[in-house]
Chain A
Amino acid sequence: MAQAAPVIQPDLELAYEMPEQATLLTDAWRRIRRNRLALVGMVIIGILFVTAAISIVWTPYPTWLQAVGPTYQPPSLGHPLGLDQAGRDILSRIMGGALITVEVGVGSAMIVSLIGIPLGLLAGFYRGTVDTIISFFINIWYGIPDLLVALILVFVLSDALHLIPRGVFVIIIAFSLTRWMDVARLVRGQTLALREREFVEAARMSGARDFALLFRHIFPNALGPIIVQATFAIPAAVLFEAFLSFLGLGLPSPTPSWGAMAADGYHGMDFAPHIVLAPTIALSITLMAFNWVGDGLRDAFDPRMRR
């Protein structure tokens, strides 16, 4: 197979009948609607966002308020999810945790994209030295346990820079600094392929500057895969936050992080399992929903992937 014979590729664009006036998003929506798992995922994410929004203005009890009843009290009518080891209302804390989860997930996805997209565009578009440098970093970071670097970064950022208290922001920054490579690598690949296409050539011929080429012509055409990648960054970030907080290295104590709540309940697991079950189930369902939607989006944005 030294010299592969040229294979005639069937023109997929022609074979696929375009519906009238379908933009990227409406087209994807039309396909994702048929994906039952993705729809269930979207409903769950919807509930998560609404819960998070409600928890800003109202929770049954303040999330930090201790001793609203007997400690370790199992679920009852007054407290549907029971009370934890400090007598805090678990339902309120789960609601507050939803807000933290949304903040960490969405914030990380945004910052990862903000770092990854420009770097990927630059590497793919200018190639040469720029690409070599950026790809070098991407490859190095792929060979290391990034989660542990992020863990150390959280520690260093919160201790060394006294400006930032250890909060959601530090976790988002640490996560993003170690995870932008996924997006950058994807965008770089897309850009490398797109910059050779005729429409980019045409735009260049009509005098478009590099900036316009990148952001008006190449970026919109790479948007589908970028959205998918960003969606998958959300559960990764949520899991990272839970992982840190569970180990006691994440958000400080009164913050109702699901990971920290699981760690609280972990010690009284044999006689009060409800404390540990509530946050871990909430976390698992959330991660599941984001993964389902991510899978659905991937299929929706790339019709060729479908069987």
Chain B
Amino acid sequence: MIRRTLLFIPGNSPSMLMNSVVFGSDSIIFDLEDAVAENQKDAARILVRNTLRTFDFSDYEVCVRINNIKSEWWKKDITEIMKENIDTIVIPKAESAEDIMTLSCFLTEIEKEYKKEKQVSIIPILESPCGIENSFLIASSDKRVDALFLGAEDLTASINAKRSREGEEIYYSRSRVVIAAKACGIAAIDTPFTDTNDLEALKNDTVFAKNLGFDGKAVISPRHIDIVNTTFLPTQAEIEYAEEVLEAIKKGENEGKGAVSLNGEMIDAPIVNRAKQILKLAGGEKR
């Protein structure tokens, strides 16, 4: 699955919900948590449910960010929205493997009750010191977890760090999340860029995240989608190199070679896998 962009849509905004399919993100995260005031929680979950019932989201990964697992709302959120077809539950403020297992157990119950054939995935948002330090345990806690998502705003607030345009204060956390995700063979999703107007800084931030190993980035503004999508597409040089790698491997196989080199460098399995991934991305396969 390609998740270059995951667009947050406030669960209590009918116009944004209605138009969420026109912006071109790979995934849509319907938000029942931070975007929704406490006295609007019930209205938002019904609104999101009806949106999913009314519009065609078949070209998108449908995600719902439920409320914190320590809150009184998260089970109600799941009970309501699972009446429709969703792909992924995004769980905020994930701090431990137990959080994920609790969520997964409840999802299993609901899927059984609603006779769902497909299991939903889980994306934990790591946005606290515990969440970051437990990132590997969280990533490996349940087979439903298929990506880790760094939430830098809450994280930096909780450690009294000052958010900067360059993101130096989250360098460690970013790296930690990428390593934990890749150690478990799942995707790493970068934190959103919160300045909706500074598109050049967004570009720099996205390139940096991509170079660290992130596979995609959450966005809070539809205006950010194009830049993030484009950045996470492979460059022409990357595509050409990937094609050369696969060509060399094919040639090596035909010639019965055990080890293959390209331009004097050995091509091993990770390089081949990366080449395949690049060509898959370049091919524009969305889901």
* Real binding pair: no
- B residues engaging A (CB < 8 A)? none
